[in-house]
């Protein structure tokens, strides 16, 4: 019995927690190291015009650039800046939303490699529309920063004084010192949350929730009835299952490319929030406080869904 329990605990709980803790630790260290070397002003160069328009800080710009490589390091950088008072909560929300564009490009190779063989030309439409939603979200963040962040604060953030030169050795020592102070708090929140969400998954909470959404999607009456199968599979299983169904229906001329793309967009809107809570929230609680992590994930998913909905409506009526 003990051996069976151990064989279940190791691959399903212990190993994933160790792996997650390792990447969070590495992300925190990289974020601290970059800040110790005063590189935030160099990394924001790619989006500096948008930062100025949105009254956003250099830290937000640096986080955006790092997010193309590591989402954990990007979030760790924002959390450090927020804890030290270098940005307020409003900018933290905006910065997290701003990083949707790097996240899109991180997932782009996987998404396109799945969609292209399955739905052929529809892949360019689907990927293009989700990209348009991401661009819309980026400009909404810039507009929101312009509207919500005081000009004086934005200017102060962007013009944070640079410190004197620091050696790599000093930066490493400083980074390890900060990491040791924070890693205990990270593990204190992250481990219980991960175990809790593992139990939710094991006992089918998320599966029941996904099936409930798929079964009660009365608001999808406008879709072609045959395309509902794509939505249900997208929500209840995974993206590739919905694509497989779409491929079959396209090949049989049962659905048009437009109908398939709309069904995939709807599946994206309905499925992503649940998967974000299941996979994203546990590691967010290792970087932010649990309450703040829940708020950031919630706001991010609401704004993302609204942007995809707007793009889908435009596509529906304009094509």
pLDDT tops 80 at residue 61:
yes
Alpha carbon distances (Å) from 51 to 61, 72, 82, 144: 7, 21, 17, 12
Which residues, at least 6 apart from 215, have a Cβ–Cβ distance to it below 8 Å?
A: none
Give 183-192's long-range contacts (Cβ < 8 A, gap of 24+).
Answer: 183/25, 183/28, 186/21, 186/24, 186/25, 186/28, 186/286, 186/287, 187/21, 187/286, 189/285, 189/286, 189/289, 189/290, 190/17, 190/20, 190/21, 190/24, 190/282, 190/283, 190/285, 190/286, 191/17, 191/21
Residue with tokens 């400083």: 174
Instruction: Please state the rounded mean pLDDT for residues 272-300.
Output: 88
Structure-model confidence comparison of residues 95 and 211, the more confident one: 95
The 10s digit of each residue's pLDDT in 147-206 is: 999 875 444 444 444 445 666 676 777 777 777 777 776 777 777 877 777 777 777 776
Structure-model confidence comparison of residues 2 and 319, the more confident one: 319
Asked whether 190 and 39 are in contact (CB, 8 A), the reply is no
Q: Say if residue 51 is exposed, middle or buried (CB neighbours under 10 Å; 0-12, 13-18, 19+).
A: buried
Across the chain, mean pLDDT equals: 81
Taking the C-alpha atoms of residue 170 and residue 176, their distance in angstroms, rounded to an integer, is: 10
- Residue 1: band (very low, low, confident or very high) from pLDDT cuts 50, 70, 90: very low
Asked whether 160 and 86 are in contact (CB, 8 A), the reply is yes
Which pLDDT score is estimated for 168?
Answer: 67
Residue with tokens 């990209």: 131
Asked whether 231 and 220 are in contact (CB, 8 A), the reply is yes
Q: What percent of the chain has pLDDT over 70?
A: 81
The 10s digit of each residue's pLDDT in 91-141 is: 999 999 999 999 998 888 888 888 988 898 899 999 999 999 999 999 999
Instruction: Give the three-class secondary structure for 254.
Output: coil
The pair of three-digit structure tokens given for residue 205, joined into one six-digit string? 């909470």
The 10s digit of each residue's pLDDT in 29-51 is: 877 777 666 666 666 677 889 99
- Residue 315: band (very low, low, confident or very high) from pLDDT cuts 50, 70, 90: very high
The pair of three-digit structure tokens given for residue 268, joined into one six-digit string? 């994206």
pLDDT tops 60 at residue 241:
yes
Which pLDDT score is estimated for 154?
Answer: 43
Which pLDDT score is estimated for 40?
Answer: 61
Which pLDDT score is estimated for 278?
Answer: 79
Q: What is the pTM of this model?
A: 0.78
Which pLDDT score is estimated for 33?
Answer: 76
The 10s digit of each residue's pLDDT in 259-281 is: 999 999 998 888 888 888 877 88
Which pLDDT score is estimated for 215?
Answer: 66
Which pLDDT score is estimated for 274?
Answer: 81
Taking the C-alpha atoms of residue 312 and residue 266, their distance in angstroms, rounded to an integer, is: 8
Which pLDDT score is estimated for 292?
Answer: 94
Taking the C-alpha atoms of residue 48 and residue 285, their distance in angstroms, rounded to an integer, is: 29
Which pLDDT score is estimated for 140?
Answer: 96
Asked whether 296 and 288 are in contact (CB, 8 A), the reply is yes
Which pLDDT score is estimated for 151?
Answer: 77
Residue with tokens 């040791």: 180
């Amino acid at each position: 019995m003990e051996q069976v329990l151990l064989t279940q605990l190791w691959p399903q709980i212990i190993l994933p927690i160790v792996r997650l803790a390792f990447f969070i630790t590495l992300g925190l260290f990289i974020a601290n190291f970059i800040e110790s070397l005063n590189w935030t002003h160099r990394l924001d160069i790619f989006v500096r015009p948008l930062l100025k328009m949105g009254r956003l800080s250099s830290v937000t710009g640096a986080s955006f650039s790092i997010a193309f490589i590591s989402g954990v390091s990007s979030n760790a950088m924002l959390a450090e800046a927020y804890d030290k008072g270098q940005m307020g909560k409003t900018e933290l929300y905006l910065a997290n939303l701003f990083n949707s564009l790097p996240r899109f490009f991180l997932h782009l190779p996987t998404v396109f490699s799945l969609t292209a063989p399955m739905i052929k030309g529809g892949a360019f439409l689907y990927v293009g529309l989700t990209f348009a939603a991401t661009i819309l979200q980026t400009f909404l963040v810039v507009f929101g920063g312009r509207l919500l962040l005081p000009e004086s604060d934005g200017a102060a953030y962007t013009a944070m004084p640079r410190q004197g030169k620091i050696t790599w050795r000093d930066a490493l020592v400083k980074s390890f010192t900060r990491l040791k102070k924070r890693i205990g708090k990270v593990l204190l929140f992250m481990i219980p949350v991960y175990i809790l969400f593992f139990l939710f998954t094991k006992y089918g909470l998320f599966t029941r929730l996904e099936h409930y959404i798929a079964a009660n999607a009365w608001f999808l009456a406008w879709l072609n009835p045959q395309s509902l199968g794509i939505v249900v599979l997208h929500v209840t299983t995974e993206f590739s299952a919905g694509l497989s169904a779409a491929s079959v229906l396209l090949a049989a001329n049962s659905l048009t490319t437009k109908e398939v793309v709309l069904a995939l967009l709807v599946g994206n809107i309905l499925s992503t929030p649940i998967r974000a809570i299941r996979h994203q929230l546990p590691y967010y609680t290792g970087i932010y406080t649990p309450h703040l992590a829940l708020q950031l994930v919630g706001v991010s998913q609401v704004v993302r869904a609204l942007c995809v909905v707007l793009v889908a409506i435009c596509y529906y009526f304009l094509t």
